[in-house]
């Protein structure tokens, strides 16, 4: 016991458990569905939500965490747009990778294995990746045309 009369000794009779310690929810515990917000009290984690049908993971997703795939998609998508000015080559690498990671993030969110709040980042990354790939491809084709015309003009002579 402490000087204020509160015992800080561990209690072996009742081990500390969080509401998410076991696969079975405790009586009266409230589990909101990560997709629709429906109260899943009385249901077992891992079952489908009765409201929207999405399967809830046995490990609830932290609200502040973002999906790594969504973040990668957004970063690569943003990089792909200005990098098209480097003869288009970096955009043709970063853009498709942004699209790929955005699609992976969307799949993980649908499966309940990633935070639904990262859906916006995944979508923005895919869109930036598409724009960057298109701009990079056009710029790359422009430089190919310039080189071909320069070689063709030099071959004709003065």
How many independent structural domains does the chain possess? Answer: 2
Is residue 21 domain-shared with residue 76, that is, in the same domain?
A: no
In which domain, by residue range, is 43 found?
Answer: 1-60
User: Percent of the chain scored above 70 by pLDDT?
Assistant: 71
d(CA 90, CA 99): 14
Is residue 92 domain-shared with residue 150, that is, in the same domain?
A: yes
* pLDDT above 80 (res 13): no
With a threshold of 0.85, does the pTM exceed it? Answer: no
- pLDDT value of residue 42: 75
Is residue 45 domain-shared with residue 91, that is, in the same domain?
A: no
- pLDDT value of residue 26: 41
Is residue 82 domain-shared with residue 149, that is, in the same domain?
A: yes
* pLDDT above 70 (res 43): yes
What DSSP designation does 26 have? P
Is residue 99 domain-shared with residue 135, that is, in the same domain?
A: yes
Q: Average pLDDT, stretch 16-28?
A: 42
Is residue 20 domain-shared with residue 93, that is, in the same domain?
A: no
Is residue 82 domain-shared with residue 108, that is, in the same domain?
A: yes
Instruction: Examine the fold and report which residue of 12, 43, 60 is the final residue of a domain before the chain moves on.
Output: 60
Nearest to 49 by CA among 59, 40, 58: 40
């Amino acid at each position: 016991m402490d000087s204020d009369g509160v015992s800080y000794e561990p209690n072996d009779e009742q081990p500390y458990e969080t509401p998410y310690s076991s696969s079975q929810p405790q009586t009266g515990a409230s589990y909101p569905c990560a997709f629709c917000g429906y109260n899943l009290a009385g249901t077992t984690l891992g079952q489908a939500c009765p409201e929207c049908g999405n399967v809830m993971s046995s490990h609830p997703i932290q609200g502040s965490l973002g999906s790594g795939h969504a973040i990668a998609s957004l970063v690569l998508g943003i990089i792909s747009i200005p990098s098209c000015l480097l003869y288009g080559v970096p955009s043709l690498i970063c853009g498709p990778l942004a699209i790929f990671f955005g699609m992976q993030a969307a799949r993980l969110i649908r499966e309940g294995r990633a935070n639904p709040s990262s859906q916006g980042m995944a979508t923005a990354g895919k869109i930036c990746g598409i724009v960057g790939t298109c701009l990079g491809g056009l710029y790359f084709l422009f430089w190919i045309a310039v080189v071909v015309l320069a070689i063709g003009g030099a071959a004709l002579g003065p």
